[in-house]
Structure 1
Amino acid sequence: MHAPVSPETEPFEFGTKAETLARLSTLIRSAVVLPMESFTVAQWRDDPHDVLDRVRAHSWSDVPLIVRSSSRDEDRAGFSNAGRYLSLSDVYGQHELRRAVDVVVRSFDDHPGNQVLVQPQLRDAVASGVVSSCEPSGGAPYRVVNWCEGPDTAEVTSGRGTVRTWYFLAGGDPEPPSPLLVGLPELIAELGDVSGDEPFEFEFGVARDGTLVLFQVRPLATARLPLSRRRHRAAVSACQAQVATLQSAGPPALSRDTVLGVMPDWNPAEMIGVRPRPLALSLYRRLITDGIWADSRHRYGYRDLRGTPLLADLGGLAYIDTRASFSSLVPAALDDVTAIRLVRHYLARLRANPHLHDKVEFAIALSSFHFGTPEDAARLCDEGVLQPAEAAILVRALRSLTVHMMSLCGPFARDVSELDRLAQWEMRRPLRWTPVRIPALVHLCRTQGTLPFAGAARAAFAATALVRSLVDAGVLSPADADALIGSATTVSTEMQRDFATVGRATFLDRYGHLRPGTYDILSARYDEEPDRYFDWTAREAPPRPPRFHPTPAQARDVRELLIANRMPGTERDLFRFVTSAVSAREYGKLQFSRVLSEILVEARRVGELLGFTPDDLSYSTIDVLTQLTGSARTDVAFLDESIARGRARHALTESLCAPAVITGAPELASFVALPGETNFVTQSRVAARVADVGAGDDPAGAVAMITAADPGYDWIFTKGIAGLVTAFGGANSHMAIRALELGIPAAIGVGETQFRRWLTAGALEVDAAARVVRPVPVAGRRVAEARAS
């Protein structure tokens, strides 16, 4: 065990990199500091031969060396300049040593007190990483360990490697996710005793024999946790109790236990963020996940889950209850025994493959009929999940509900008609705010907006699954599939075309209600800040996408598949359903978001009337807004109490860290983030144009996009960037640390696929507090200026 620092000992003070390591080398027992020699720039310039002689006098000077910067303006509280100055590894012999020192010295400013640190290089490393004593962006009491396995000890800080991240609560006794990390909790505790529990971070390596090697320790620039650790621990315990309760829920869901995820089914992480503010969360629940989601599926022929909420609110963190989701995707015609067996299998697959949490319907559940469904059902028999007779019943049930979905008198056609009626609804805004307005809009949005939209989205999923199965069957190429789906006339294509062809007023009348954060009162509508969203000088009509025209052989193959699978209609009927379903999903969102946007406008109006800002209202809930009476005194008190309560709860929400997929309550105290899970930095947000830094775009005022969090890109911070997105890297990479210190919202390590997708967006909104990045669907290809909050 580590020995605590005596109360009579003078408080530990951080110095330069070299000074801090020298002081710690005699104080810590759970790790070692490699031997070192340090000297100032003045000493080097005065007599480099003497300095070289001092290094050569050490017995370790014959092995490869590392020459490290130890500047006076590195590793300071509030400003680390992490990665700004050079360090050079694999330095051999006197000549290379002299050259390396010169190079490091030239990377400094001209202060003679800057230092250079020379150490033997750790040659037998098997792992390395960076540890923060608390969550860097908000100061929450989680230890955050970014690590990579292998001999490259700069992989984590440089952002080059595939970084894994382990979170665990301070004061706990966690089980390390790798034997290589077994000594880290004790080292963190020991450094905490030495530093007086001031926030810090350190870089470490693991030698082949398991010894922890301390490379660097520095103060951590972080916001102070706005609540006590005791209150935070109580919040975590309450969430753990809630998860335990969910694991023992009963009917109508078809499993005793569950898996929670931020992306399965309706994707709350994408729609409202992982840590939404109370108003956005309450709107999402009221309009979709409390009931509408299940009402829609019941209408389409799925199992009746009405009355069961889809979303679990863990201290303000939004999770989907996949037990409810999977149960609702079982055809109603299936008997209970078979349905239960299916849902348990789906949950087991998700537990074993948590990386599939954002694609459960394509990779796990069988929820509609396509041309590969019989083979998928046969695999369930091979795996012992179903008997052949049960598999045949499942296939028939999926075929029946999909055929009904596609028919001209089915639920999809009815939902499109409902959306058409909503499109005719005139948003006549009364001159004066009235208390009945918001409840009426909420009712309208639920019954004529999100309910038919949910059905259109279900049809679009079934259509996409059919197209994918045609690719799997070799009937269509991937390019053909893209052309077929691209043949659908969507809101996005119409908006781009309208931007180039209609007047400004007409364009904003059609699309002005849209906002990047559909449920977010702080996200400005297009017609509220049109010059920020649109470049009115770049009004070029987009090229029309190529239309899909099947070859005679493709048409014949589709007809044969339809006949073989007992599906009615022709290939033209199938292709027509695909394009209409894809179009209807976009059309439905345009229509229901028009009503939702009006709800947020009315919320702002009543806020202005009663003296509350939009930021204030973001902490209230839709339940409160629908209960306002029109009496100013009563409503002010009611709103004021709601906002205060919401602020306090959201402070707790922002302090909670949890995995993207939760399979049990203990994971709320210790977990490893999924590979490719984004690391968000700061608690701020920004909307700005995208700058591809690697391609030479000017990053000034933009969301800078760079592949890796490489310290070589430090210059971008001198350009006044608005935000930062990287494909690779961890929360403790040098670039992440610099963004944190400068208060720049950043999404680090979003993954190569997501990075490429966002790179093509005209603009992005990076909301680090809600842990979400949203493309801003602009016309004119850019956002004129950034706005941070």
Structure 2
Amino acid sequence: MHAPVSPATESFEFGTKAETLARLAPLVRSAVVLPMESFTVDRWRGDPLGVLDRVRGHSWSSAPLIVRSSSRDEDQAGFSNAGRYLSLSDVHGWQELRRAIDIVVRSFDDHPDNQVLVQPQLRDPVASGVVSSCEPSGGAPYRVVNWTESADTAEVTSGRAGVRTWYFLPGPDPVPPTPLLAGLPALIAELEQLSGDEPFEFEFGVAGDGRLVLFQVRPLATARLPLSRRRHRAAVAACQAQVATLQSAGPPALSRDTVLGVMPDWNPAEMIGVRPRPLALSLYRRLITDRIWAESRFRYGYRDLRGTPLLVDLGGLAYIDTRASFSSLVPAALDDRTAARLVRHYLTRLRANPGLHDKVEFEIALSSFHFGTPGDAARLCEVNVLDHAEAAALVRALRVLTVRMMSPSGPFTRDLAELDQLSRWQVRRRPRWSPDRIGELVRLCRTQGTLPFAGVARAAFAATALVRSLVDTGTLSPADADALLGSATTVSTEMQRDFCTVDRRTFLDRYGHLRPGTYDILSARYDEEPDRYFDWSIRDTPPHPPVFHPTPAQARDVRELLAAHRMPGTERDLFRFVTSAVSAREYGKLQFSRVLSEILVEARRAGERLGFTADELSYATVDALSQLTGSVRTDSAVLHEAIERGSSRHALTGSLCAPAVITGAAELASFVALPGEANFVTQSRVAARVADVSAGDDPAGAIAMITAADPGYDWIFTKGIAGLVTAFGGANSHMAIRALELGIPAAIGVGETQFRNWLRAGALEVDAAAKLVRPVPVAGRPEPEARAS
């Protein structure tokens, strides 16, 4: 690789692709620009043989060539038209060259000054990618590198699978994730000085000998950073200090260090988004993650973590402290030494396997008893985490905890009764807004809503783990397991049935308080915009949920498993618990969300009284709203200050980039995104129906769903799409660039599994600023249930 070089002192102006490369070639020292020949369309049409002769005069012309577009309306500030025009590679011989040039020319509009660029093709590249000098959507000063390690230099721009993303801040000697990228920081700094600090992006390749090859440089259309770089640096430093402090915290958590994640446990990324606005974040913390989460687990027989917050507010980014989470999932009956060894092991596994952060309880932690638990505990002995006596104690403690959970006199039954009591609560809005109303509703929601909901959600997890273990033992097939879980009578199935069978008013009386963003004041309730969410002309036959009937052999096998593992009851008792717990989770959300939705309604009423919009209120906190007194003058001042403070802080939050899993403070300055971690484009949000473009759906006015961020789909931008979601691709793929330029909210590279799930949703809301995609109901289909444990 090249040694670091001093930056060039000359400058250049962006032009066409060919002009920019020609101007940079003698200036750039950190990379090479391949030799080239360029010419206008007019010249080609007037003297094609002369052009071919000129190309033939270069010593490099006998090598395989690449013929590239260099149009006047490409690579300009504000409209790159990235990938719109053709480039053809592996061109051999003069006949192929002439044909390739004709094809590229035909891909242009008819402007005679459009250009064609011919270069030797880079032989045997070992890596390639695209780099942005700043974060494309918000202008934050992160370098963003999308790269692949393969011989195909078009993998990144075409948005295919296998693209990785490296974010890093300018600074001394950032450590690249691979030596192949070691020269990029110097090249970025050099181009930044040459461009006069104008945002840009470039495409590069890495030759077999380690040389960086500069393929293309273009200005980057991006939003201006809404705060100074000095303030951004200070914010990053504060977050790093916060993470460092967390790594030395003491009891009651059972480890001195921790791992932060956006998806473990109560998964804020799914529930409120990675960058929630202050009101949503404060509600989530007050109602669940400050204390209620630990109170519920203590009631179920887990270790006492009351007083320890689960959620870490990292500059407005919402993370789960997995040290607290793992500690809270240890049975209280287990001794401190064994419990601490377990938690340290869980954290070590998560550090080594960060991709498991969204499935820690199925893949890492042992938090309830199922028929595979003894085997899981034995494997902990094999890796010297526990000795045999400790493993046996863990199995006993989990069995006792789970049996108590399943008991008719246990905490699950009690929590379900509390939710039944809340179901009788009636909304009675006072004619005049009352300042104490929000505080009353918050207390009601905590004590009679989210507290029992947290318990029944924990029971639902234990039930699901039991069913999965029946599949693992071969007792049930995967289809049988799906039928068993699907046979539960849930709010979703009742809602689908009611949509088809009851009148509109009755339907909205029952479900109108729901909103896709449960904690989001900007997310309209179903009864506020019913025609947006439901197509009342489609009233199909009510769906029939699956019915599960175990075979005699399956019933016998389950009875034998229960007896072998010293679990009480019969197979019917087990199946009844499973369906009851799964149903209770949705039922609990329906009940507590009635109160939560009313909190947001009362917040809007307060705003209307004091002259604040819902958008402005989203920057306040529930604490500020609870402090209102009824005095217009005093309350206006309180809310104005809270909104100003929240808005300013959220602008800072929007400028922060951080990994989905944080294991140390250094990762806030340099990190590689996890595979399948979406890249969000723009700071906008939209809710619209889903259009499966590859299946022929009309994307006009819809959220276009395409597998790869392939420039071949550029035509969708002429259809007036509302949003874009792709399974594969990076922040610098052509489709991401086009969406950014056009101001279309997009989630690029969400992963194949999530893409398929969202494709079935009917409609989605894409909130790019919050880094959140969530399903919304359409044509009578309710939103899929979000996960919580």
TM-score tier, shorter chain, comes to over 0.9
> In the alignment, which residue of structure 2 is the partner of 1:596?
596
> In the alignment, which residue of structure 2 is the partner of 1:133?
133
CA separation in 2, counterparts of 1:780 and 1:484?
24
1:170 aligned partner, one-letter code: P
CA separation in 2, counterparts of 1:741 and 1:587?
43
> In the alignment, which residue of structure 2 is the partner of 1:177?
177
CA separation in 2, counterparts of 1:123 and 1:696?
38
> In the alignment, which residue of structure 2 is the partner of 1:37?
37
> In the alignment, which residue of structure 1 is the partner of 2:92?
92
> In the alignment, which residue of structure 2 is the partner of 1:786?
none
> In the alignment, which residue of structure 1 is the partner of 2:537?
537
TM-score (norm 1): 0.98
> In the alignment, which residue of structure 2 is the partner of 1:2?
5
CA separation in 1, counterparts of 2:314 and 2:235?
9
State the Cα distance separating 1:431 from its structure 2 match. 1.3
SS of 2:126's equivalent?
strand
Q: Which structure 2 residues correspond to residues 451-462 of structure 1 after superposition, within 5 A? A: 451-462=451-462
1:616 aligned partner, one-letter code: E
State the Cα distance separating 1:675 from its structure 2 match. 1.0
2:296 aligned partner, one-letter code: S
Distance 1:781-1:97 versus aligned 2 partners, 3 A rule: farther
CA deviation profile, 1:25-51 (whole Å, cap 9, x unmatched): 010001000000000010011111111
2:510 aligned partner, one-letter code: R
- Tell me if structure 2 keeps the 8 A contact 1:727–1:749: yes
State the Cα distance separating 1:170 from its structure 2 match. 1.8
CA separation in 2, counterparts of 1:172 and 1:67?
38
Q: Which structure 2 residues correspond to residues 156-175 of structure 1 after superposition, within 5 A? A: 156-175=156-175
SS of 1:119's equivalent?
strand
CA separation in 1, counterparts of 2:471 and 2:7?
64
Q: Which structure 2 residues correspond to residues 339-738 of structure 1 after superposition, within 5 A? A: 339-738=339-738
Instruction: Verify: 1:314 aligned to 2:317, yes or no.
Output: no
State the Cα distance separating 1:499 from its structure 2 match. 0.5
- Tell me if structure 2 keeps the 8 A contact 1:341–1:385: yes
1:763 aligned partner, one-letter code: A
> In the alignment, which residue of structure 1 is the partner of 2:221?
221
CA separation in 2, counterparts of 1:644 and 1:150?
49
SS of 2:705's equivalent?
strand
Instruction: Verify: 1:295 aligned to 2:307, yes or no.
Output: no
- Tell me if structure 2 keeps the 8 A contact 1:135–1:144: yes
CA separation in 1, counterparts of 2:420 and 2:544?
25
State the Cα distance separating 1:706 from its structure 2 match. 0.3
State the Cα distance separating 1:272 from its structure 2 match. 0.4
CA deviation profile, 1:629-682 (whole Å, cap 9, x unmatched): 000000000000010000110010000000000000000000000111111111
- Tell me if structure 2 keeps the 8 A contact 1:322–1:347: yes
CA separation in 1, counterparts of 2:199 and 2:595?
46
CA separation in 2, counterparts of 1:542 and 1:395?
44
CA separation in 1, counterparts of 2:56 and 2:542?
67
- Tell me if structure 2 keeps the 8 A contact 1:763–1:782: no
CA separation in 2, counterparts of 1:541 and 1:460?
29
- Tell me if structure 2 keeps the 8 A contact 1:496–1:541: no
> In the alignment, which residue of structure 2 is the partner of 1:122?
122
- Tell me if structure 1 keeps the 8 A contact 2:497–2:543: no
1:111 aligned partner, one-letter code: H
CA separation in 1, counterparts of 2:633 and 2:752?
53
- Tell me if structure 2 keeps the 8 A contact 1:728–1:748: yes
CA deviation profile, 1:691-739 (whole Å, cap 9, x unmatched): 0000000000000000000100000000000000001111100000000
CA deviation profile, 1:556-587 (whole Å, cap 9, x unmatched): 00000000000000000000000000000000
- Tell me if structure 2 keeps the 8 A contact 1:270–1:772: yes
CA deviation profile, 1:116-149 (whole Å, cap 9, x unmatched): 0000111210000000000000000000000000
CA separation in 2, counterparts of 1:712 and 1:440?
55
Q: Which structure 2 residues correspond to residues 194-273 of structure 1 after superposition, within 5 A? A: 194-273=194-273
Find runs of 4+ consecutive structure 1 residues off by over 4 angstroms. Answer: none
CA separation in 1, counterparts of 2:47 and 2:747?
46
CA deviation profile, 1:366-386 (whole Å, cap 9, x unmatched): 000000000000001111011
State the Cα distance separating 1:430 from its structure 2 match. 1.0
> In the alignment, which residue of structure 1 is the partner of 2:786?
none
CA separation in 2, counterparts of 1:266 and 1:80?
41
CA separation in 2, counterparts of 1:603 and 1:574?
43
How many residues were matched structurally?
780
State the Cα distance separating 1:5 from its structure 2 match. 4.3
Runs of at least 5 residues in structure 1 that lack an aligned partner in the other structure? 784-789
CA separation in 2, counterparts of 1:307 and 1:161?
44
- Tell me if structure 2 keeps the 8 A contact 1:727–1:755: yes
State the Cα distance separating 1:432 from its structure 2 match. 1.1
SS of 1:125's equivalent?
coil
Distance 1:289-1:217 versus aligned 2 partners, 3 A rule: same
1:666 aligned partner, one-letter code: A
2:612 aligned partner, one-letter code: F
CA separation in 2, counterparts of 1:522 and 1:611?
16
TM-score (norm 2): 0.98
- Tell me if structure 2 keeps the 8 A contact 1:128–1:148: yes
CA separation in 2, counterparts of 1:782 and 1:721?
23
CA separation in 1, counterparts of 2:632 and 2:545?
54
CA separation in 2, counterparts of 1:172 and 1:516?
44
- Tell me if structure 2 keeps the 8 A contact 1:537–1:780: no
CA separation in 1, counterparts of 2:5 and 2:744?
37
State the Cα distance separating 1:161 from its structure 2 match. 3.1
CA deviation profile, 1:478-535 (whole Å, cap 9, x unmatched): 0000000000011111111110100000101111111111111011111111111111
1:118 aligned partner, one-letter code: V
CA separation in 2, counterparts of 1:587 and 1:782?
14
State the Cα distance separating 1:546 from its structure 2 match. 2.3
CA separation in 2, counterparts of 1:289 and 1:250?
19
Range with greater deviation from structure 2 (181-190 or 155-164):
155-164
- Tell me if structure 1 keeps the 8 A contact 2:129–2:205: yes
Runs of at least 5 residues in structure 2 that lack an aligned partner in the other structure? 784-789
> In the alignment, which residue of structure 2 is the partner of 1:65?
65
CA separation in 1, counterparts of 2:58 and 2:98?
16
- Tell me if structure 1 keeps the 8 A contact 2:496–2:781: no
- Tell me if structure 2 keeps the 8 A contact 1:736–1:746: yes
State the Cα distance separating 1:3 from its structure 2 match. 3.5
> In the alignment, which residue of structure 2 is the partner of 1:764?
764
Instruction: Verify: 1:275 aligned to 2:278, yes or no.
Output: no
CA separation in 1, counterparts of 2:292 and 2:543?
38
1:693 aligned partner, one-letter code: V
CA separation in 2, counterparts of 1:547 and 1:273?
35
1:357 aligned partner, one-letter code: H
- Tell me if structure 1 keeps the 8 A contact 2:12–2:24: no
Instruction: Verify: 1:337 aligned to 2:322, yes or no.
Output: no
Range with greater deviation from structure 2 (537-546 or 683-692):
537-546
State the Cα distance separating 1:333 from its structure 2 match. 0.2
Q: Percent identity?
A: 85
SS of 1:705's equivalent?
strand
State the Cα distance separating 1:542 from its structure 2 match. 3.9
2:780 aligned partner, one-letter code: G
CA separation in 1, counterparts of 2:670 and 2:338?
35
SS of 1:510's equivalent?
helix
Distance 1:248-1:559 versus aligned 2 partners, 3 A rule: same
Q: Which structure 2 residues correspond to residues 138-153 of structure 1 after superposition, within 5 A? A: 138-153=138-153
CA deviation profile, 1:260-296 (whole Å, cap 9, x unmatched): 0000000000000000000000000000000000000
Range with greater deviation from structure 2 (536-545 or 145-154):
536-545
Distance 1:58-1:161 versus aligned 2 partners, 3 A rule: farther
CA separation in 1, counterparts of 2:489 and 2:114?
63
SS of 1:433's equivalent?
coil
CA separation in 2, counterparts of 1:17 and 1:405?
66
CA separation in 2, counterparts of 1:24 and 1:2?
16
CA separation in 2, counterparts of 1:424 and 1:571?
33
2:699 aligned partner, one-letter code: P
